[in-house]
Amino acid sequence: MAAGLRWSHVGLNCTDQKTTEDFYTRYFGFSRARVVDLGEAQIVFLRKGDAYLELFAAGGTEPARRADDDGPQAPGRMRHLAFQTDSVDAFLAELGDAAEVTLGPLDFDDFICGWRTVWVRDPDGVIVEVSQGYEDDSTHDKDGA
């Protein structure tokens, strides 16, 4: 691994930065870490542990085609963001009508006993996966070898 290289953040283009910030702070436990004032625009940094979301105001470009299921499958596009929870059902109950379920919940007991996942759409159309019960394969070391 390159000296000191570690995960930093995901940058999201937002129709309304405040709406997107409220969604990720309320339902995913992020909090505002910093706002960079660019004059007529700003960049909002949200943090949860070592993970950051960097929120940009979307430019005047056409919105991307809304993804379905577990996210876009085209090369060069992020498929989805993903989070772990203790209970997918409790997460969905808390979320209520705040986001649209695009796929699931699905059970993956054939692969890992107790693995359950749902995919929802955030306010800007980004697909967000929320899973419970996923575990790494014990035959692989921590570096994926």
- By C-alpha distance, which of 64, 90, 97, 86 is closest to 131? 86
Q: Cβ neighbours of residue 86 under 8 Å, at least 6 residues apart? A: 132
**pLDDT in single tens digits along all 145 residues of the chain:** 567 777 788 999 988 999 999 999 999 999 999 999 988 889 999 999 999 999 998 876 666 667 778 777 776 777 899 999 999 999 999 999 887 999 999 999 888 889 999 999 999 889 999 999 988 887 766 655 5
Right CATH for 69-145 from 3.30.360.10, 3.10.180.10, 2.60.40.10, 3.90.1150.10? 3.10.180.10
> Residue 78: what pLDDT?
79
DSSP 63: P
**Which residue's entry shows tokens 């921590």?**
142
- Is 7:51 a contact under the CB 8 Å cutoff? yes
In this structure, which topology does domain 6-59 adopt according to CATH? 2,3-Dihydroxybiphenyl 1,2-Dioxygenase; domain 1 (3.10.180)
Instruction: Tell me the one-letter amino acid at 12.
Output: L
Domain residue spans of the chain = 6-59, 69-145
- Is 54:7 a contact under the CB 8 Å cutoff? no
